[in-house]
Amino acid sequence: MKSNIVKITIGGLSGSGKSSLGRSLAERLGFSFISSGDLFRQEAKKRGISLLAMEELVKTNPDIDRAIEAGVKSYGETHSGFVFDGRLAWYSVPDSFKIRVISTDEVRVERIRLRESSNRGSAVSFEDAAKETSIREERMREQYNKLYGVEDYMDSSHFDFTIDTTGMSIEGSVNAVLAKIAEVSQ
C-alpha cells in the first residue's frame, strides 16, 4: 500500500486492543513498533518495582513521566515509518495519523483479566481486574491533566480516526485502519 502517512500513533484505554492493533499494523506496513507502555514497564523493572508502584512513584516524581514523553516526542521528531502505541502519543507526535481504539468496558476488562492472569501465573477475577483498571485509569487522567493540561486524553477530537475493536479480530481491525489510511492518502 502506497501512502503519505509515515507516522502513526495509537491511543486507547487498557485492554482496548491498541497494542495488538499497533504491532500488527506496523508489521503489515513494514514500520517499526514502539509502545510507551513497554517503556514505562521497562523503567519499573529497571527500578525493581511493580507497575502500580511505578505509577505511585510517578505521582511524587513526575519527571519520570515527563522523561518518557520527551523520549516519545524526540523519537517522533527524528524518525518516520513507525507506529507508536501510547495514551499520549497523539500529544507527543502531533504530526502523526492519530488512531483512537475503543472497546466496551466488559471486553476491555476481560482482556486485561486474561493478560494479568497469564502474567501473574494465577487467576485474576473479573472484579479485581475491573477495580485495578479503574484505579489505574483514574490515576492516569489525574496525572495527564496535572502534567500536560490534558483533561481527557481519549477525547475523540484528539484523533483522526476511531476504531471500535469490541467484536473485531486483529486482522479485521488492521484492514479497517489500512482502508482509512488509503482513503485519507488520496
Distances (CA, A) of 50 to 27, 42, 124: 30, 10, 16
Q: Give residue-wise pLDDT tens across range 124-157.
A: 999 999 999 998 899 889 989 999 999 999 999 9
Which residues lie below 8 Å from residue 139, measured CB to CB, with a gap of 6+? 55, 59
DSSP 8-state secondary structure symbol assigned to residue 156: G
Q: Would you state the pLDDT for residue 73?
A: 92
* CA 94 from centroid of its chain's CA atoms: 15
> Residue 43: its pLDDT value, please?
87
What secondary structure does DSSP assign to 103-129, as a single string? --HHHHHHHHHHHHHHHHTS---HHHH
**Binning pLDDT at 50, 70 and 90, where does residue 1 land?**
low
Do residues 67 and 124 make contact, with C-beta atoms less than 8 angstroms apart?
A: no
Homologous superfamily, domain 7-103+156-175 = P-loop containing nucleotide triphosphate hydrolases (3.40.50.300)
5-35 pLDDT, tens digit per residue, is 899 999 999 999 999 999 999 999 999 999 9
Q: What is the pLDDT of residues 82-132, one digit of tens each?
A: 999 999 999 999 999 999 999 999 999 999 999 888 888 889 999 999 999
pLDDT score at 48: 93
- Tens-place pLDDT, residues 28-72: 999 999 998 888 888 888 999 987 788 888 888 889 888 888 989
pLDDT for res 185:
87
For residue 2, the model assigns a pLDDT of: 57
Mean pLDDT of 159-164: 98
141-158 CB burial, b ≥16 within 10 A, e <16? bebbeeebebeebbeeeb
